[in-house]
Amino acid sequence: MNASRTVIAVLNGPNLNLLGERDPEVYGTATLTEIEKLCLETADRLGFDVDFRQTNHEGVLIDAIHEVRRTAAGVVINAAALSHTSVSVRDALAVVDGPVVEVHLSNIHRREAFRHHSFVAEVADGIVTGCGARGYAMAVEHVAHLAAEEATA
């Protein structure tokens, strides 16, 4: 595997810094720090490092995608509300070299109609939705699997 592409970027959008205190019945009780730890442990087990970030700003999220798009082995992204609104985030993800897996803590299809469509989903290789914090581990695992597959292709 290419040594410069062993990092999985895990990118988080608006309001996810409030996990643990924000609507725990919808998003669960795990904090973003706990989710970061879960991602680090999962990736480490599979031989990858993690670059874990959160921002409340669309442009900062796009800059983060640009920053990692050529260097990361793949991207796990919970763009949160921006998933439903941002063509710019979608377009940035479309030019990521490695696999992209979208994750949502809640099952967006069981919620309000405005959450049913995700621009991110249009450019994602996989989607994990409704599996809570564990969904991040599943998404990291899948990115690692796809990245390893790509590296041996």
Question: Looking at this protein, which amino acid is placed at residue 149?
Answer: E
In the bound state with ligand DHK, the residue whose beta carbon lies nearer, of 42 and 86, is 86
* List of residues 6+ apart from 85 with CB closer than 8 A: 119
Q: Are 69 and 43 in contact (CB under 8 A)?
A: no
Between 42 and 106, name the residue whose CB sits nearer to ligand DHK: 106
51 among annotated binding-site residues:
no
Task: Identify which range of 34-42, 60-68, 99-107, 142-150 contacts ligand DHK by CB under 6 A.
Answer: 99-107
- 134 binds ligand DHK, rule: CB under 6 A: no
Instruction: Give the x-and-dash track for 3-22 against ligand DHK (CB under 6 A).
Output: ------------x-------
Piece of the chain touching ligand DHK by CB under 6 A; list 46-54, 67-75, 102-110, 142-150: 102-110
| Catalytically annotated residues | 27, 104
Rounded to 5 degrees, φ, ψ at 87 are -70, -30
Q: With binding defined as CB under 6 A, does residue 56 bind ligand DHK?
A: no
Does 108 sit near ligand DHK (CB under 6 A)?
A: yes
Q: Which is nearer to ligand DHK, 104 or 142 (CB)?
A: 104
131 contributes a contact to ligand DHK by CB under 6 A: no
For residues 92 and 79, what is the distance between their CA atoms, to the nearest angstrom?
12
115 annotated binding-site participant: yes
d(CA 52, CA 55): 11
Residue holding tokens 């998404």?
139
| Contact indicator for 150, 99 with CB cutoff of 8 Å | yes
Q: What's the token pair of residue 90?
A: 């979608």
